[in-house]
Structure 1
Amino acid sequence: MSSNAAIRAARLSVAPMMDWTDRHCRYFHRLISRDALLCTEMVTAPALVRGGALHLLDFSPEEHPVALQLGGSDPAELAQAARFGQDAGYDEINLNVGCPSDRVQSGTFGAVLMKDPGLVAECCAAMRAAVDVEVTVKCRIGVDDQDPEEVLPEFIARVAATGVGRFTIHARKAWLEGLSPKENRDIPPLDYDLVRRMKGLFPALHLSINGGVTSLDQAEAFLEAGLDGVMIGRAAYHQPYDILGRADARLFGGQPAPQREEIARDMLPYIETHLAGGGKLAQVTRHMLGLFAGQPGARMWRRVLSEGAHREGAGPELIEAALAHVAEARGAA
């Protein structure tokens, strides 16, 4: 798949989310949206290069267009990891310059790299020299006591000078001390205006906005305001049909999504293959709990899957049982 497909898809992307956007989640999301860009959880370059954990790159061909997000701060190591990603078939390699967790800081990557745009530029130059697919960056507007008005334009300019043409900007600072990763997603104030001004400063770059976006109405407003893309995280995960199920028609001019029940049943062959390979039902169904969010029967759908998927021998029949409760609730509504 060409990088043009990834650029088009980046009009709406699902954020990389640790422990959430694994390959099972992405397969499920792709059944809901044909057009949105999907992203892996962050994979660290050391895990691939030093740890040989290439199984972390496994994904299904149906997931395209899909981006691999890498974490790291060593240019040579990131270049090698990017090559592994290209060889595995990813459409894009994204560098994480936004994650504020302690584990990430101790590895000197993620949001702490906002303090060293020169190193980020080195890393991106090395990655771009190593692969043909597009290299992109996801960053914050700044960290700690930095003044975003000063540091963000300089950061973008330094990194863009290496040939990086696409940035996703989480419109919050990250506080590297004193706030947990969860608090870093909610407490620092959002500065959407600053991100919009970056598009004015760098009109040739493809800029996506991230942070606090919970609806397609918001996403459309950002696109109409001149931004090139919108990245949505938790809302796309917890209400996948409300976001991804309506995105293709509203944002891409595509076809409406299949009905929720059809999507659930379309997961059955995938689930059977996963179980046949020794996998557990809950590894897949935990990502499907929000499919009926806001609909009659949503609570029973979640309850049946949550309580039953961990049981020994649980299989596809649990999906049918949960769907029966939804149908019953819909009939009673």
Structure 2
Amino acid sequence: MILRITWKRVVLAIAALVLAGMLFAWSGLFQISASSGHWKITDWFLHWTMQNSVRTYSTFQTPKKVRDDSALVSAAGHFRQSCATCHGAPGLAPSPAMQSATPPAPDLATTVGHYDDAELFWIVQHGVKYTGMPAWPSLDRPDEVRRMVGFLRRLPDMTAREFAALTEAPAPATADLAGLRPGVLAGCIGCHGSDGLGRGQDDIPILAGQKPQALADALAAYASGKRASGVMQVAAAGLSPSDRQALARHFAAMPGLVDAPLAVTHPLIIRGLPQDQLPACLDCHRPGKTAPLIGGQRATYIADRLRAWQGDKTVVDAHKPDAPMPVIARRIPKDEIDPLARALAQSPGR
């Protein structure tokens, strides 16, 4: 006897399969323990699905520039603090506990070659569901993701000595560490240098000589997520208020930036653009004011901060004392950002 296939029978069959699946899930017989692992065909299917998804979404959801090889210290520092526990790093074995996950975190030195730069950018920025791979802590910082892609491309050939050179710096000879927990300073100077001058990296600001309250406020803003940076949000999240104050005092006491008048002639610094309600930099950034020191700061860092503020559309009131810069920065002509940053960097502020 041959059964005729009708829409009614198809719907009933689908309903029966759904009901059977729900009953199986309800029974608790489905094995979810990480110790049981996946069947090989399940592991292959999930990984194949992930690769296909990454390839598709990275084609449409990544910017034109997805890799930056010019500044690797901050990326390496973040990798050591946030990624090496699961993936390991040159000279550092991954945590056995994290390797007992299902699936275990891969050795990136052997797997990054399976993906192009756009795919790596997408994975680092968005993470991967059901694998423990998180998204980048701040989705508003593609510049940080680009630097991480540049670091990952170097990873397969990187030696333990090279990785240590990127992530470690000698401890300062003298330091006021009152109120600072042991080991905290080492994590900071790995990127910012024992002298607080940023190890010559374009993306790392000069902290030495900065006003201590400006440094403490910045750390608090990073820790709360109010200020966007995947690298710094992770670094600041574990700091106590006393840690933040101690670090601020330590770097502020170093020779570096000085609280001196800005000796510059750029019109935006002196006059601003009154017709566009853009105040002069000197209105706030001069001796006697509470605004951070910017004279002598690294030009690339100033320019990057101004562009980041221009993209911040959440702040609309320039009179708010805790967040005036997004509104002010949006009034700066885009073609003036780099000349303005260079002029401020050349000011005898350190």
Measured against the shorter chain, the TM-score band is under 0.3
Higher Rg: 2
TM-score using structure 2 length: 0.26
TM-score using structure 1 length: 0.27
Q: Which has the higher strand share?
A: 1
- Greater RCO structure (CA 8 Å; 6+ sep): 1
